[in-house]
Structure 1
């Protein structure tokens, strides 16, 4: 059954308010610092109560990381689909290209977010935890595609996934910190090409 118009409108309104709160929070984090900006201040600046804030975000940290990776697609399912047509490394590449396409038009916002993250030990740790969670969601999908002794498949899949996410993070940082001389997809492609021989783990 199709989603009713009323539900669709409510979801769009919820998404718009989440985006507004994220923008307000990012501005305050830039001005005052992440650790020096309590939820009460974010809520006040956005014209809502702290209680309402927590209806949209479970924590202050989630304001920055709640929509990362920025895609509505199930990434393990997308990886599984790419594995039907490509080896493990290229399948990871194409899966993360989907994420890159979703952020490639918002360099200014991501540059600002990256600067804020780099000023806070709490945020750096949160970002690392998020990457670990993403890795854990992708590894089981990749394991069956990595040929070789069963005892080594899990290890090889872990290495490939973590290397792929490192390529993404490095390309993302390089792109976000520059003034437009390179696009996100181009940076990601260059990063993955550096390790293109990793597909040989299938042999």
Structure 2
């Protein structure tokens, strides 16, 4: 007998394949359950809606991002810590690259899902900016502005890397691509 996690993953894989092939908005729950060979009632035991199939628990919470950043802030400048934080996320995504590439393509090519993903960025910003600002110099009047600029630049770098990784046929790991993209940006050490 399959565990709940295995069924959830199999159902998500079926749905993501349909979304990636036909487009998120064109695929219905009825299409998903027909392809998976389950009832709609069973679908709703695992997911509350189609969006949850894409996001599930894939996207880290603001607290998880903040905690990962804290692990890297100890002896590193803020920009280097941000780079290491996003590389850690990239390594996790590389470990399950097929599923992540498909989910990323679906998110990036569906405006409503992209908006939901950007809401996550806003939550990350609220959690992470104070951490960065406190490392810059909390007494500087521009510390928060500098921290916001750094974080939004890092988020932009990460987005460029994941979109390129998901949409291209490259065998390059996401972690390597994140490192490359972050390397294009020169941030003075603070």
TM-score, normalised via structure 1 length: 0.78
Q: Deviations over 1:150-196 (max 9, x none)?
A: 4322222111111111111111122223333522122111111222x
Distance 1:41 1:74 in 2: 34
What are the ranges of 5 or more consecutive residues in structure 1 without an aligned counterpart? 1-11
Say if 2:66 and 2:124, in contact at 8 Å, map to a contact too: no
Distance 2:101 2:80 in 1: 27
| 1:143 is the counterpart of 2:120 | no
User: Equivalent residues in 2 for 1:87-126 (5 A)?
Assistant: 87-126=77-116
Deviates further, 111-120 or 139-148: 111-120
SS of 2:183 mapped into structure 1? helix
Q: Deviations over 1:58-99 (max 9, x none)?
A: 33112112233369x922112112111111111111111111
TM-score, normalised via structure 2 length: 0.83
Deviates further, 135-144 or 83-92: 135-144
1:6 corresponds to: none
Distance 1:83 1:55 in 2: 40
SS of 1:74 mapped into structure 2? helix
| 1:41 is the counterpart of 2:31 | yes
Say if 1:70 and 1:102, in contact at 8 Å, map to a contact too: no
Which of 165, 182, 198 in structure 1 is aligned with 2:187?
198
Q: Flag the 1:69–1:181 CA change in 2: closer, same or farther, 3 A.
A: same
Count of paired positions: 188
